[in-house]
Chains A and B, each alone.
Chain A
């Protein structure tokens, strides 16, 4: 039997506080190398002696450490370290490097557990969402690990649409699949597309934004929010209507959602572009500040989102059509109709913007783009005679997808862009693995993940 011990972190002058442990397996289970067995919440605490800002201060409320053995073994826990309840959610004691949390038989090598550190930057800091691994709504999430590798951290930023969330965050939404395969040191960052889809047009404009432009956007949003709230009358508050006096199902103030969404759009537009943002990681060697990402992963699917340009400021936003209604209310739709104009982008527009983005990013940070292409074939779209489509021909996703994929292939010839050929992977396995072109089965996601990994290694991104 080998003792399974907590790893040491060198974070002086700060202290690391932790919650109780939550087990991710049952005692007695056989687990693979780097398969997570326990998780806890942690927080950096100021010892009172430091006058420097707290590292990772924007992620303190959702910082977790996941622990895994370095090789395959059978684990037995020290059950008293997991009391459940709120002790598993709230930090109650100091992290003690070397503390034994369980035992393993047939473990190869030392029993120091491998840490995967998860950090979530909340969209709304005061909104608690703790409960499981990397739970809650975050505008940005990170997973990083020192691992067994040497040298500097390699960082990959995933900015694509939902099919890419599956590849990077995985079924567990906490990067476990990458932790198991990339030796490290590695950092993965994912920024989801719920607020604004990260098309090349949106990203390019964000990266080039000036303070004056940020100010103009802020004023535009401020003005609309003022109107939206200022236009409220007594009928705007369903909770306080006469018929609600004895109880009502209408619990929410509808205007609130519109205002919050506008604020989130604004917060992203005037915050730092994630492609340029540096980050801090907790390691065994101390807290290390990392450069902007080495590689940025995008999806061609982002280019298909609905784009709008603010008439006065030129601010470009992009959203998925399916978000209107169930997620984005009529107030925002009215705002878009009045103050924005639809931006109908063609494959040629995407080509121009992706090329400019790749070139500018290369100059600014040295990062390369990995762009996932579109799955062009569809189980449902069975067209044998394209003349029957009439004017819809150009909008047929089969045609558009093939055009866009060929465009992306051409871009890889001249710019720092690598193509992740999801179309070929889906066709190899069969598009029944992705019947709607975007949401893939576990098998296809794993094939895509392997391909991303292969490309990252080929591009010599450190740690992979």
Chain B
């Protein structure tokens, strides 16, 4: 099982907006526990899809300057409907601001015109070497990996 919660970047406007899609399949193991007899994508993974979408927008906008992009805060994340296997969700994330080490966004996910999730959230981005210069090689490795992953999402 891989921890990647979007499948494709549909459109990307650096500094501004990104649209991505994720398809849900019964092959995703956690669905067996969430829930038995009623498999639906867990709410936090819907948020993860929004976070990953925003992270790609940051990476492209800052040209992969930072290795670590983490959620700093989220507010008013609402789950309005369920997403079941066989369905696909399209995430739209708009940037309010993208600065060097922080950014904030609003985002939502739609499936067949129905709103599934919406959120306001902020990310923080940094390099491990900022605190400890021996981590430079690790930063480089993560950034290389993210560039390769970007290719998978075309």
Q: Do A and B come from one complex?
A: no
Interface residues of A (CB under 8 A from B): none
